[in-house]
Amino acid sequence: MNAREENLLKSISSDTLLDLTQRYGQAALGFGPPHGASSPARFPLASSAAADFLTAQTAKSGESGGEHTSDDDDGFEVDSRKQGSAFGEDPKHPASKKPKEQRSLRLSINARERRRMHDLNDALDGLRAVIPYAHSPSVRKLSKIATLLLAKNYILMQGQALEEMRRLVAYLNQGQTLSSAVPSALAPFGQTAAAAAAVYPFSGTALAACVEKCSYSAAPSSLFKHCSDKP
């Protein structure tokens, strides 16, 4: 983790995160694609079940070869930076029995591996698209490791939010049954909420605190580490 990424993460306010949390949370529950979703295949979990996701990924895997690699079978559109090593002769294994066949096989394997890594990167891009962080063009893309760690913390945070919501609903339901003399439908919502806030044992700021603590800590080296602890 470098300073650049830490600054990026710190730049995200918890308000923004909570806002995004609400929207992405809905999407994750299947109420529609998240903001900015360009295609269902890009956000498979938002539109359908895990099985659909796997199907989409399998199909995508087949097509992505075409998207990324016109080099697929020939294996010749390699990164120009790596061309030297890609075509260099192995000093340990000079001209063997069938060098041409072996070379062809090696190129095919390389192309497959390249395709596989491209698919992996596509998946990471998909992950970046659905986790809350600054998506503006002026902000650098999250690194792979930052993406994974932020996604993990985001999932943990969502779980906590869900749990807190459940407790709140249970608490409000309990209050309804106790004060049945006053029809709950007539109770001003604001007052109800205020009363709940006054008595409700679970702080509404817990989530924001978790965001601060888990994802956007100012401590450079400890970034992302806090929530590796049990929530």
Structure tokens at 63: 């097509």
Q: Determine if 91 is a binding residue for DNA (CB under 7 A).
A: no
Q: Which is nearer to DNA, 42 or 128 (CB)?
A: 128
DSSP letter assigned to residue 90:
P
**What gap in Å lies between CA 2 and CA 14, rounded to an integer?**
21
For 28, the enclosing helix (H) or strand (E) is helix 14-28
For 135, the 3-state DSSP assignment is: coil
Q: Determine if 50 is a binding residue for DNA (CB under 7 A).
A: no
Choosing from 4, 98, 166, 167, the residue that interacts with DNA (CB under 7 A) is 4
Candidates 71-79, 187-195, 200-208, 223-231 — which segment interacts with DNA by CB under 7 A? 71-79
Contact (Cβ atoms closer than 8 angstroms) between residue 207 and residue 161: yes
Identity at 127, one-letter amino acid code: L
Q: Determine if 100 is a binding residue for DNA (CB under 7 A).
A: no
Contacts of 98 (CB under 8 A, 6+ apart): none
Q: Which is nearer to DNA, 19 or 113 (CB)?
A: 113
Q: Determine if 81 is a binding residue for DNA (CB under 7 A).
A: yes
Given the rule CB under 7 A, which residues bind DNA?
Answer: 1-5, 75, 78-79, 81-82, 84-86, 88, 90, 92-93, 106, 108-114, 116-118, 121, 140-141, 143-146
